[in-house]
Amino acid sequence: MQIQGKAKRVRIYIGEGNRHRGKPLYMALLEFLKQEGASGATVTRGLAGFGAHSRIHTATILTLSVDLPIVVEWVDAPETVARLLPRVRQMVDDGLITVEEVEVIQYAPGRVPDPLEQPVQNVMRREVVTVRPETPVADVVSLLLQRGYRSLPVVDTEGRLVGILTDGDLLRRAGLLARLDLQPELSAEQVQRQLAALRERNEPVGQLMTRPVHTVHPQDPLRQAVALMAQQGLKRLPVVDDQARLVGLISRIDVLRAMEYHQVGQEPGEEPLPAGKTVAELMYTDVPTVGPQATLEEIVRALEASRRRRVVVVDEERRVLGIISDGDLLRRSRQAAHPALIDRLRRLVTGEKGAAPPLPGRDETAAMLMTAPVITITPETPLAEALRLMVQYGVKRLPVVDAEGRLVGLLGRASVLRGLLTG
């Protein structure tokens, strides 16, 4: 299991003499966290301190048996903390508990010679929220929006996987206005109108979910999961045991982070693991582009022509000036709430055909809507470096430029995964 990015740190301040069911409380907490699959915890013994009772406890030579202060520190995924913290609070009768958000730079079980041969269980996330087939879709959408999830596995009463509900399912079959990651850009009125329509339809998840579902097992080599993602064009895979019970979830970004983690651990002069194909071989060259003065209508047409949900802004010499995604349009355009724009961006995902209603906003240009500056790479950039940039900066695609900064291609996460398989 890996943790990277936003996490929660829990600190539990207790006394060495505190007990729970006949054993030291700090040991009871450690055993509970380990049993429940927490990422790990550390116990620190203090030299002196006082707490709610205002008694000072010290570790002087004359008072070695005094109730010294103890700190149990535990860092984990927010979902895991939310699940286990109520029980931790019940166990701690006398003490202080704090929770704060932290940024995890690195946490993993250790580096191996060939990271793609390690088992899936080393990389997968075990804390997975699930729903039942009979759950109303409106309730699930509310949960997805509250938690920021992109999909939810669907399980039966025995915990066996029966399907998965994705934002694609919701766009195509439930009439969602925008992808789940773009929902925060919609107005409150639009979000509420969506939910009201879903409640009126009163459809259960089982009618909309994708099935059957591609899966892997915890002991399968990571290479097998990556190959399945690449072959089927998937961003995530449920992990099941021999009885088809859900035990985890592994995503494309989980894999990329694992590979980047192993690259960081290489000694100078070592051969990259794996070598993979070159950026020049993996990039696609039919990149949609617009000039800095392109209107909103021209930008959307470029997105529709390529269906890549990204358009690169270039000057007359094809030098990269910026990049525009469908999310950028909803975040920055004054026409973000216009039904025509929302409908056309939605069709980029669903593939629906039909007449494209014209867009207003001729006074908005690509230069006003683009993200700049842009992180770029060259065709000669090592694949490991491109991977590092994607993980470090959280970008999904990197423009590829020549020595003069002119656009020659675009490299995406899916292409990087395919390249890693050839190493």
Q: Which of 263, 294, 329 is the last residue of a domain?
A: 263
Do both 58 and 136 map to the same domain?
Answer: no
Q: How many domains does the chain have?
A: 3
What percent of the chain has a predicted confidence (pLDDT) above 90? 54
Distances, alpha carbon 120 to alpha carbons 1, 6, 344, 360, in Å: 9, 22, 38, 49
Give me the mean pLDDT over the 250-261 stretch: 88
Looking at the fold, whether 284 and 194 belong to one and the same domain comes out as: no
Residue 405 tokens, joined:
């900064």
| Weakest-pLDDT range from 188-192, 241-245, 374-378 | 188-192
Q: In terms of domains, do 355 and 328 share one?
A: yes
DSSP state of 406: B
Quote the pTM value. Answer: 0.74
Rounded distance, CA 329 to CA 59, Å? 61
Whether 288 contacts 302, CB under 8 Å? yes
Place of tokens 């079959």: 173
Task: Dig out the tokens for 302 from the structure.
Answer: 């470029």
The tally of CA atoms less than 13 A away on the side-chain side of residue 207 is 12
**Same domain, residue pair 96 and 143:** no
pLDDT-based confidence at residue 109 (cuts at 50, 70, 90): low
Looking up tokens 């009125």, which residue turns up? 189
Confirm if 300 and 346 have CB atoms less than 8 A apart: no
Residue ranges with strand state E in 167-318: 236-240, 246-251, 289-290, 310-314
Crossing angle of the two packed helices 339-350 and 296-306, in degrees rounded to 10: 10
Tokens standing for 330? 């909803």
Burial classification of residue 413, based on how many CB atoms lie within 10 Å of its CB (0-12 exposed, 13-18 middle, 19 or more buried): buried
What confidence score (pLDDT) does residue 423 get?
57
142 and 236 assigned to the same domain: yes
Same domain, 139 and 229: yes
Q: Answer for the pair 280, 413: CB distance below 8 angstroms, yes or no.
A: no
Distance between CA 332 and CA 370 in Å, rounded?
A: 9
Looking at the domain assignment, is residue 225 inside a domain?
yes
Q: Which of 263, 293, 319 is the last residue of a domain?
A: 263
- Confirm whether 271 is domain-assigned: no
Domain assignment of residue 274, yes or no: no
265 CB burial (10 A radius; 0-12, 13-18, 19+): middle
The pLDDT confidence band at residue 270, using thresholds 50, 70 and 90, is very low
Residue range(s) defining the domain that contains residue 70: 5-104
- 5 beta partners: 104
Please tell me the distance from the alpha carbon of residue 182 to that of residue 326, in angstroms, as a whole number.
9
**What is the 8-class DSSP label of residue 335?**
T
| Closest to 51 in 3D by CA, of 94, 20, 22, 113 | 94
Confirm whether 111 is domain-assigned: no
Host H or E run for residue 332: helix 326-332
Question: Is residue 110 a part of any domain in this protein?
Answer: no
The residue out of 231, 263, 295 marking a domain boundary is 263
Looking at the domain assignment, is residue 188 inside a domain?
yes
- 173 and 259 both lie in a single domain: yes
A 10 A CB-CB count for 61 gives: 5
Q: What is the mean pLDDT of residues 120-131?
A: 90
Read off the CATH number of the domain in which 306 is found. Answer: 3.10.580.10
Cα 51–Cα 56–Cα 59 angle in degrees, nearest 5: 115
Roughly what angle, to the nearest 10 degrees, separates helices 252-264 and 413-421?
60
**Paired residues of 325 in beta bridges:** 310
In a domain? residue 25:
yes
DSSP 271: P
- Could you tell me if 57 and 170 lie in one domain? no
Q: What's the average model confidence in pLDDT over 182-211? A: 90
Is residue 306 domain-shared with residue 406, that is, in the same domain?
yes
Cis peptide before 373 (omega within 30 of 0): yes
Per-residue pLDDT at 311 = 96
The lowest-confidence range among 264-278, 294-308, 321-335, 353-367 is 264-278
What is the pLDDT, as a whole number, of residue 350?
Answer: 84
Strands 310-314 and 289-290, sheet pairing: parallel
Q: What is the rounded distance in angstroms from the CA atom of residue 30 to the CA atom of residue 133?
A: 36
- Does 259 lie in the same domain as 125? yes
E strand or H helix at 83? helix 78-91
CA distance 198 to 151: 17
Mean pLDDT value across residues 142-163: 91
pLDDT at 272: 46
Distance CA 368, CA 404 (A): 24
Taking alpha carbons only, the member of 249, 252, 243 closest to residue 421 is: 252
Shared domain for 211 and 298, answered yes or no, is no
Question: How many CB atoms sit inside 10 A of residue 15's CB?
Answer: 22
Q: Which two tokens stand for residue 158?
A: 């025995």
In a domain, 310, yes or no: yes
Q: Lowest mean pLDDT of 10-24, 77-91, 99-113, 378-392, name the range.
A: 99-113
26 neighbors 43 (Cβ within 8 angstroms): yes
Q: Are residues 285 and 258 in the same domain?
A: no
Q: Name the pLDDT band for 58 (thresholds 50, 70, 90).
A: low
β-strand 246-251 against 289-290: which pairing, if any?
unpaired
